[in-house]
Amino acid sequence: MKQVLPIVLIALTGVVGYWFASQYGPWRGADADLNAVDLSIERPCVLFPTGCKAVAAGDVFSLRFDQPPQSLKPFKVVLALDAPLPVEHAVVQFEMVGMDMGINRFRLSKRAEGTWVASAVLPVCSTGRSDWVVRLTFVSEGERYVGEFPFETR
Ligand SMILES: [Cu+2]
């Protein structure tokens, strides 16, 4: 009988933890239940200086950096929506294909109508790679849009 209590406590901790994570976890909650819609990205896609264009719900928007991205040097990620797509929130996550680079996730803030900005900083790659992918996710009118934009640091 004494062995049951720890198991119950562990189970309870798990349930409570899961509930907290789903309520207050940084990027879970409502989004996780939404269908992911792939953004269609126009090629060529160059994040600096021109920016990449993509289409969500028939509206064109762009994603760009404010400077050539370098490791350890803060830069801005700018999401600009031509047509006022009502974005609820937006986040960028930086990854390397096939390599765990830790969590490099930054939330964009609304700066003006149709303009969302995040300050980001990238770690140095331990193997010297410079090829990154920035994954943009934003929620608009009940859809979760996701697109991956490749770029290189220098
Ligand atoms: Cu790496």
Would you give the DSSP letter of residue 117? Answer: E
Domain holding 109: CATH number? 2.60.40.1930
Ligand 1 centroid, distance to 2 Cα (angstroms)? 48
pLDDT computed for residue 30 by the predictor: 53
Angle at 76 between CA 111 and CA 82, to 5 degrees: 50
Cβ–Cβ under 8 Å, residues 94 and 122: yes
Ligand 1 centroid, distance to 102 Cα (angstroms)? 9
Ligand 1 centroid, distance to 26 Cα (angstroms)? 24
Ligand 1 centroid, distance to 72 Cα (angstroms)? 13
State the Cα–Cα distance between residues 113 and 111, nearest whole angstrom: 7
State the Cα–Cα distance between residues 57 and 136, nearest whole angstrom: 15
Same structural domain, 60 and 4? no
Same structural domain, 6 and 56? no
Same structural domain, 89 and 118? yes
Strands 40-41 and 75-81: unpaired
Ligand 1 centroid, distance to 118 Cα (angstroms)? 22
Cβ–Cβ under 8 Å, residues 101 and 95: yes
- Domain count within the chain: 2
Quote the domain boundaries for residue 25. 1-30
Same structural domain, 5 and 69? no
Same structural domain, 128 and 67? yes
pLDDT computed for residue 7 by the predictor: 54
Same structural domain, 25 and 40? no
Same structural domain, 5 and 51? no
Cβ–Cβ under 8 Å, residues 33 and 25: no
Q: What is the mean pLDDT of each run of 10 residues along the chain (154 residues)?
A: 57 53 48 84 96 92 97 97 85 98 97 95 97 96 94 94
Residue type for 7, please? I
Same structural domain, 94 and 21? no
Ligand 1 centroid, distance to 128 Cα (angstroms)? 7
Ligand 1 centroid, distance to 68 Cα (angstroms)? 18
Same structural domain, 64 and 119? yes
Ligand 1 centroid, distance to 137 Cα (angstroms)? 22
Same structural domain, 129 and 60? yes
State the Cα–Cα distance between residues 3 and 31, nearest whole angstrom: 39
Cβ–Cβ under 8 Å, residues 145 and 137: yes
Same structural domain, 82 and 52? yes
